[in-house]
Amino acid sequence: MKKTLLIISLLLSPFILMLVSIAVIIGITLLILMSEEKPNYENITLSEFGENEIPSEFIPIYQEAGEKYAVNWLILAAIHRVETNFSTNVNTSSAGAIGHTQFLVCTWLSWNYPSCSTASRAIYTNPEIISKYGGYGVDANGDGIADPYNIEDAIHSTANLISHNLSMINDIRQAIFAYNHAEWYVNEVLGFAEAFSGGYIPVDGRIIEIDGETAWMVPHTKNITSEYGERWGTQHKGIDIAGGGDLGKPILAFMAGEVIYSQWNTGGYGYLVIIEHENNLKTYYAHLQKQGIKKGTKVKAGQVIGYMGSTGNSTGPHLHFEIRKADTPVNPRPYLAHWIGTEPIK
Ligand SMILES: [Zn+2]
C-alpha cells in the first residue's frame, strides 16, 4: 500500500510542479498587464470644495468622457467651470465660442472646412461632415447630431480635443494651453482641478507660493500686523497676518504634516488647526472662520487647511500663526525669512 502511494506521488510531482510554474507565469503576466494599464481616474476622491462646487449631475458625464479619452475627469470639470461656470453662462463669447465648453465653430467642425466660421448649425453639428474634415465635435449621446449645446456632446468633445493635444505634446499644461492660448487660463483650470481633488491650490485659481518644503500660508497678503514676543505685557506666541477684507479666504499648510487638532479652542484661539511636522515641529493656525480640515488628514505644503476668520480672542480677520519646537513657541520669523524676511515690523 505504502509503495503504491509513493509511486503515485512520484508520478504526480512533475505534474504539480508544472501546475505551479504555470500559475506563477500567469500571475506575473497579470501583474505586468495591470501595471501597464492606462491611467485610472475613477477613484479620485473629491475635496470638500470639490464636493460642494461640482454639480453632481455632471460627474458621470465627466467620468465617462474621461475614461473614454484617457483624460483626468477633474480637468474636464475644471474647464467646464472656467468656461461657463458649469453651464450657468452659455452665452456666445466675444470671440464667438459657443456651447457648454465654449468651442469655436471651426474647432468643433474643423478648420479645414471651407469658411468654417460661418457654417450653418446643420453643417457644424453633422457628425459625418465633422469626421470627414477632422473636427473635434462628437455626438456622445447618440442622437445623430454633435451639438455643442448638448452637455454630453460638449464634454466628450472637450475630452476629445484635450486627448488629441496630449497625444501631440504629452504635457497637461501645454494640452490645456492649446485649448485656450493663455497662461492665466491654464493656471485657472489647473487651480480648479487641484482644488477639486484636494484643495491643493486656492479656490479662485490664484497661484500659491511654494518654496522647497514650505508654502506661504496666506496667499492673498503678507501684511504682518503683530510680531512674536512681548506685547502689552504678555508674550505673543506667534505672528499675526492680517486679512483686511479677506474674511473667508484660504489658509494653507506651511509644511507637509499631519493634522493633529482641528476644533474650537476655548483658550482664545477660536477655531484652531495644529499640524505636526517632522523634526518635532508643530504649526498653529488660529481664529479660523470655521472648523478647519479634519484631524488625522495628511497635508502637503500649500494645501488649504481652513479659511481666514476672526473667531476666539480676535479683534478682526487675521491669521495667528505659531511655530512650536518641542512644544515651545518660537519666533516664526527665521522660518518665514524666505517669504517676509527676518526684519520685524516697527
Ligand atoms: Zn496673534
The predicted structure's pLDDT at residue 10: 55
What is the Å distance from ligand 1's center to 305 Cα? Answer: 18
Task: Kindly state whether residues 80 and 135 are assigned to the same domain.
Answer: yes
71, 164, 226, 314 from 161: Cα distances, Å: 10, 5, 51, 50
DSSP 73-118: HHHHHHHHHHHHTTTT--PPPTT-EETTTTEEHHHHH-TTSTTGGG
What is the Å distance from ligand 1's center to 284 Cα? Answer: 10
Burial classification of residue 69, based on how many CB atoms lie within 10 Å of its CB (0-12 exposed, 13-18 middle, 19 or more buried): buried
What is the Å distance from ligand 1's center to 301 Cα? Answer: 21
What is the Å distance from ligand 1's center to 275 Cα? Answer: 17
Tens-binned pLDDT, residue by residue, of the chain (346 aa) = 555 555 556 556 777 777 777 777 776 666 555 544 444 455 567 877 888 889 999 999 999 999 999 888 999 999 999 999 999 988 888 888 999 999 999 999 999 999 999 999 999 999 999 999 999 999 999 999 999 999 999 999 999 999 998 888 767 778 888 888 888 898 888 878 878 876 443 333 345 677 778 989 997 789 999 999 988 788 999 999 987 667 777 788 999 999 999 999 999 999 999 999 999 999 999 999 888 888 998 888 888 888 889 999 998 999 999 999 999 999 999 999 999 999 998 7
Task: Kindly state whether residues 193 and 52 are assigned to the same domain.
Answer: yes
Q: At what angle do helices 73-84 and 59-69 cross, to 10 degrees?
A: 120
Task: Kindly state whether residues 66 and 193 are assigned to the same domain.
Answer: yes
Task: Kindly state whether residues 158 and 236 are assigned to the same domain.
Answer: no
What is the Å distance from ligand 1's center to 236 Cα? Answer: 6
User: Within a domain: residue 177?
Assistant: yes
What is the Å distance from ligand 1's center to 344 Cα? Answer: 14
Please choose, from the candidates 127, 131, 128, the residue with its C-alpha nearest in 3D space to the C-alpha of residue 145.
Answer: 127
CATH number of the domain within which 281 lies: 2.70.70.10
List the domain range (segments joined by +) for residue 242: 215-340
What is the Å distance from ligand 1's center to 227 Cα? Answer: 8
Task: Kindly state whether residues 113 and 232 are assigned to the same domain.
Answer: no
Task: Kindly state whether residues 82 and 179 are assigned to the same domain.
Answer: yes
The predicted structure's pLDDT at residue 84: 94
User: Within a domain: residue 11?
Assistant: no
DSSP tag of 5 = H
What is the Å distance from ligand 1's center to 198 Cα? Answer: 28
Task: Kindly state whether residues 118 and 241 are assigned to the same domain.
Answer: no
User: Within a domain: residue 140?
Assistant: yes
User: Within a domain: residue 19?
Assistant: no
The predicted structure's pLDDT at residue 265: 97
User: Within a domain: residue 94?
Assistant: yes
Q: Torsions phi, psi of 110, nearest 5?
A: 125, 135
User: Within a domain: residue 244?
Assistant: yes
Q: Torsions phi, psi of 81, nearest 5?
A: -65, -45
CATH number of the domain within which 164 lies: 1.10.530.10
Could you give the number of structural domains in the chain?
Answer: 2
What is the Å distance from ligand 1's center to 307 Cα? Answer: 16
User: Within a domain: residue 39?
Assistant: no
- Return the number of other C-beta atoms located less than 10 Å from residue 182's C-beta: 11
Task: Kindly state whether residues 288 and 332 are assigned to the same domain.
Answer: yes
Task: Kindly state whether residues 56 and 189 are assigned to the same domain.
Answer: yes
The predicted structure's pLDDT at residue 7: 58
Task: Kindly state whether residues 100 and 160 are assigned to the same domain.
Answer: yes
What is the Å distance from ligand 1's center to 320 Cα? Answer: 4
Task: Kindly state whether residues 173 and 289 are assigned to the same domain.
Answer: no
User: Within a domain: residue 148?
Assistant: yes
The C-alpha cell at 50 is: 470639490
The predicted structure's pLDDT at residue 169: 75
What is the Å distance from ligand 1's center to 237 Cα? Answer: 7
